C-alpha cells in the first residue's frame, strides 16, 4: 500500500493545489503535513508569520471539512519529517518546488536524507508559471527576441491554465486521527530575538485575538 506525505509549504490551500492533487491521484493514502521550520521562522517578519499562522489555521478547518486532517509539526525539518515517515510508513514525500537559496539547500539536504531511507522526494512546479529554461524556441534554445517569447508564453498559459480542483476523496491514512500533531508556536515568543518592541506588542495582540 502506497502512503505519501504532502508537505505543504507555500501552497497553503486545497483548491488549485497541484501537489495535493497529484499525491492523491498517485497514492493510496495521503498524510497532509505542515512543518513549522524553527530555522526559517526565526528570520521572518511579523507579517509573514501572521499570514502563515492564519493560513494554517484555515487549512486545518478545510482539511477537517474534507474528511482528512492536517498534521502539524514544529522543529527541525529533517528530524520531524523523518519521524513522521517512520510513524506512517510513507514511501513518498510530495512538495512544491521552492526557489530561494536557503530553500534550495534545505530541500537538497532533505532529499539526501530521504534517499537514505528509501523515500522518494517528489518536487512539483507550483509557485511559478514556468521554471527557468522551460520556455524555449522550436530549436530548443533561449529566446533572444521579446515578441516571439511573449507569444510563446501566452500560448502555453492558455493551454495550461485550467485550475486544479480539490479531489473529492483526500485518501487520509487509517491512523491519521492518532498521529501526533503540534500546535502553532506562541508567536509572541519571537519578540525578544527577532522583533522590535513595537512589533512585539502588536504581535501579542494579534496572537491573543487570532489564536487564543
DSSP code of residue 146: H
Q: Is the residue at 116 inside a domain?
A: yes
Q: What's residue 131's pLDDT?
A: 66
Rounded Cα distance, 128 and 17, in Å: 12
Condensed to tens digits (0 to 9), the pLDDT of residues 56-81 reads 899 999 999 999 999 999 888 899 99
Q: What is the pLDDT of residues 30-63, one digit of tens each?
A: 999 999 876 666 566 677 777 888 888 999 999 9
What pLDDT shows up at residue 210? 47
pLDDT at 193 over 50: no
Specify the number of domains making up the chain. Answer: 1
Q: What is the DSSP letter of 172?
A: B
Query: Does the residue 144 lie in any domain?
Result: no
Q: Work out the average pLDDT over 143-151.
A: 83
- The answer as to whether 188 is a domain residue is yes
The answer to whether residue 75 is domain-embedded is yes
**In-domain check, residue 154:** no
CATH number, domain of 70, equals: 3.40.50.620
Does residue 87 lie in a domain region?
A: yes
Give the domain extent around 108. Answer: 3-128+165-211
Give the global pTM. Answer: 0.74
**Does residue 27 belong to any structural domain of this protein?**
yes
Q: For residue 195, what pLDDT is reported?
A: 45
- The rounded Cα 94 to chain-centroid distance in angstroms is 9
> Phi, psi (5° rounding) for residue 102?
-70, -30
Q: How far is it, in rounded angstroms, from Cα 86 to Cα 84?
A: 5
Establish if 153 belongs to a structural domain: no
Amino acid at each position: 500500500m502506497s502512503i505519501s506525505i504532502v508537505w505543504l509549504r507555500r501552497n497553503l490551500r486545497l483548491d488549485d493545489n497541484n501537489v495535493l492533487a497529484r499525491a492523491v491521484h498517485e497514492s493510496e493514502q495521503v498524510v497532509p503535513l505542515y512543518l513549522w521550520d524553527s530555522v526559517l521562522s526565526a528570520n521572518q517578519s511579523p507579517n509573514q508569520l501572521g499570514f502563515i499562522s492564519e493560513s494554517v489555521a484555515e487549512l486545518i478547518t478545510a482539511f477537517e471539512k474534507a474528511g482528512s486532517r492536517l498534521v502539524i509539526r514544529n522543529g527541525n525539518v529533517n528530524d520531524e519529517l523523518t519521524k513522521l515517515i517512520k510513524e506512517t510508513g510513507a514511501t513518498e514525500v510530495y512538495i512544491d518546488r521552492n526557489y530561494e537559496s536557503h530553500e534550495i539547500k534545505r530541500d537538497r539536504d532533505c532529499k539526501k536524507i530521504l534517499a537514505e531511507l528509501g523515500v522518494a522526494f517528489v518536487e512539483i512546479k507550483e509557485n511559478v508559471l514556468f521554471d527557468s529554461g522551460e520556455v524555449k524556441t522550436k530549436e530548443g534554445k533561449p529566446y533572444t527576441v521579446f515578441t516571439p517569447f511573449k507569444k510563446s508564453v501566452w500560448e502555453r498559459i492558455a493551454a495550461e491554465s485550467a485550475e486544479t480542483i480539490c479531489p473529492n476523496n483526500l485518501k487520509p491514512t487509517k491512523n491519521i486521527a492518532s498521529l501526533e500533531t503540534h500546535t502553532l508556536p506562541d508567536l509572541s515568543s519571537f519578540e525578544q530575538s527577532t522583533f522590535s518592541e513595537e512589533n512585539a506588542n502588536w504581535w501579542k495582540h494579534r496572537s491573543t485575538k487570532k489564536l487564543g
